[in-house]
Amino acid sequence: MRLLPRTRLLPLYLAGICLGTLATPARVEANQRIRFQVADDADAMLTDLRVEMVRLGEVRVVRLVDDGSVDGDMPWDGVYVGEDAGDYARYVDVRLIARESGGPDQVLVAAVVNTDDENLVDLGWRIVRPPDASLKARRAAVAWPGFRMAAVEGLHLIAAFGWGFLVIAYVGMAVRARRT
Amino acid sequence: MTGIARNGATVGLFAAVAAVFTWPLLADPGRIVVARQFDVHGMLWLTSVAREVGPDLRVALAAWPEGQSVAQADSLLVALAAWLLPAVRPLTWASLLAFGGPVVSAWAAERFAARALGAAWPWSLLAGLAFGFSGLAATALLEGHLYMLADPWLPLLGWVAVVGFGGEGRAWHGLAIAVCWTLCLLTSAYVGICATVLLVVVAVNAAFERSVQWRPVLVGAIGILPVGIAYAYLLTLSRARELPTDLAWSSRLVVESGSATLSDLVGWTRGVDLQSHSLCPTLGFTAPALALFGLRVLDRKGGSRIWMILAGIAVVLALGPSLRLQRAESGLPWVLYPLVESRFGAWFRFPARVLPLAYLGLGAVGAVVATRIAARRLRWALPLLTFGLVDALLVTGAPFRTLRVPMEVPSAYVDLPGEGAILELVPEFQGWASDLGHDVLDHTCTYQRVHGRPLLNACLNPLLPQGPLVSVGRWLRFALLSPDTEDAAIVSSRLAALGVGAVAFHPDLFPRGLREEIGDALVRALGEPVAQSRDAGDNVRIYRVQGDVGDPSAILAALRKEGW
């Protein structure tokens, strides 16, 4: 069985791979979606987690949930998700506010963040509890819903290592096959 | 297949790869950029003002009234091209460089592998994929250093150097070497460093092999020397050649931030785009694996080993002052460690940018090895092209990391009444948030293509915390928030005396509470805003400053006298 077509058809074959990738949708959405993903790495008993944001001068409140009711959220996985859609904004003023069971509101983050993409922006944080016992949130690269962030952030690197071993082994065998 | 058809197929294939590599740029060219970081705005601004550069190399439209020196520009070649072709819009330049740059670079590298080292088509395509669609190319695309994508000069220099310093060298080869080296230097100082290392190593190798022809060497040196001296003089004019160190960022940390780590050479993570300015110059696997196994396949006199040596030099230099597995580590002292503590560290702040030399060397040697494998085991060689494509698109991750950033200008800036400079009133972002400050101010520089009025903020190399905006903006914020009503009363007259005709206030960037306070104070000092908008991603209110705008030189003299 041939792995690839004959050499003269190779450019067409490779161009086909490229065109296949181009066929993925790249339309402009009517609204810019800003998706918040917050991983509760502190295992806090959160009764409320919300984002208060100022988007183009307008104050909005986004409740983050982990019960699967928001599109893209996997229930009870420890990653709270919420989404806001509206006119395109290049930056938003964000406050991440959490309340533990029986406790007061705690502002975990207060910052202006970039939201450059006009279709979908993912903003991620990781809630941790330092030794002083008050909750904090650290900015993190985006989580895929349903997974803890640390594992997902390294996923591409792990895949690259796997690919690298495959290529090196293949080239080694090819060189050996040439010699024999 | 004829030569023309083969070259046509090569360019067509690389164009298809470029379409994926830069996706979604091709879906909306001329309206969006796909860069994640802010450096693209400086290049857009430079192309829009190229015709405004004065004989002192300053542009009065930024850092008003001092003016911005273009000696700080990353790519003088882009400035020159924009000056020669004023009809081409800045966003068109950005799209052309992002899409067409990798194509011409890859094509040149493919020709280099075929003509200089003897790789056969289609295996020579591996060299093009490794060089034109490298990890550093993805980094340049995402950072916004688009001029680095259009670098056919380095492969061409390699080609003419191999021929010129070899046994068949002629005087015109020396001239071609000088021209290619100059174009490398004007593309970017780091490409110039790559070109210099390439020339030195190839020349020394030719001298050892006793094949060097002195006529091309002499002609090349005569062409290179005056350009090098002129460029060095230009750098001394630029104030930007200092490392932006402070208490938190030592010179070693600054240079480390521009260096590669071992994990960067393997693959990307999402954290790279969030925290490391998208710097992830992956090497790929196909070309390096072929080149390394090629040490057993290729004979010593094929000329391939010198390109392996060049690749090795580039990788060693790219790791910078510390050998680190990943960015969070302090690492072991590495070859550039002594350099960063000296003043020369400022001249080599981004060591990772010498990696084009590694991509060129590994790609070309890899293509030769693939040719040898294909000559005896075609079926084994065929998947290598797909592997090269996977390296270019998946290992670099370029199509998954690009953004869709619209470059429209807020409507408040259109048909703005009055004259004089515009002061962009934004907070001072410091530490890790300074990137956001650069992004905001650099975006306002691109608004200038609509309003055409001078700005107090600098638009090139904004890392230096200086310039009129810092001092005037700081004074204005204090005056507006001062409980002393006299301070607020003189705001209008003082700004007019400084040549400021309008204040553009971006309230969403200020802390809550403070934004309302500053907004109210601006109304008291300057009256109701003459324009405001919430489109193009920016909430902005523009206040007009009443009064006549004075002569810039008189304003500058007054500013210096007052110690601004």
pLDDT in tens, A107-153: 999 999 999 999 999 899 988 888 877 888 888 875 544 445 556 66
Of B266, B275, B511, the CB nearest to A157: B266
Please indicate if any CB of chain B lies within 8 Å of the CB of A14: yes
- State whether B433 and A112 contact (CB < 8 Å): yes
Q: What is the pLDDT of residue A103?
A: 86
Indicate the SS3 state at residue B474. helix
pLDDT (mean) for A75-86? 88
pTM over the 0.80 mark: yes
Q: Tell me, what amino acid is at B177?
A: I
How many Cβ atoms sit within 10 Å of the Cβ of residue B232?
10
- State whether B382 and A7 contact (CB < 8 Å): yes
**Chain A residues inside the 8 Å CB shell of B285:** 163-164, 167-168
Q: What is the pLDDT of residue A78?
A: 82
Please indicate if any CB of chain A lies within 8 Å of the CB of B409: no
- The model's confidence at residue A5, banded by pLDDT at 50, 70 and 90, is very low
Give the residue ranges of chain B where pLDDT is below 70.
Answer: 238-249, 301-302, 343, 346, 461-467, 485-488, 549-550, 552, 561-564
Please indicate if any CB of chain A lies within 8 Å of the CB of B507: yes
Q: What is the pLDDT of residue B505?
A: 96
Chain B, 443 to 502: residues with Cβ < 8 Å from chain A are 443
- The answer on pLDDT for A15 being more than 70 is no
Judge whether B135 and B280 are in contact, CB under 8 Å. Answer: yes
What's the CA gap between B390 and B18, in Å, rounded? 13
Q: What is the pLDDT of residue A155?
A: 78
DSSP chain A: --SS--GGGHHHHHHHHHHHHHTS--PPPSSEEEEEEEEETT---EEEEEEEEEETTEEEEEE-BSSS-STTPPTTSSEEEEEEEES-BSEEEEEEEEEETT--EEEEEEEEEE---SSEEEEEEEEE--TT---EEEEESPPPTTS-HHHHHTHHHHHHHHHHHHHHHHHHHHHHHHH-
Q: What is the pLDDT of residue B239?
A: 56
- State whether B508 and A4 contact (CB < 8 Å): no
**Chain B residues inside the 8 Å CB shell of A170:** 383, 387
Complex ipTM over 0.95: no
pLDDT (mean) for A156-163? 88
Q: Greater confidence, A78 or B355? A: B355
Q: What is the pLDDT of residue A22?
A: 55
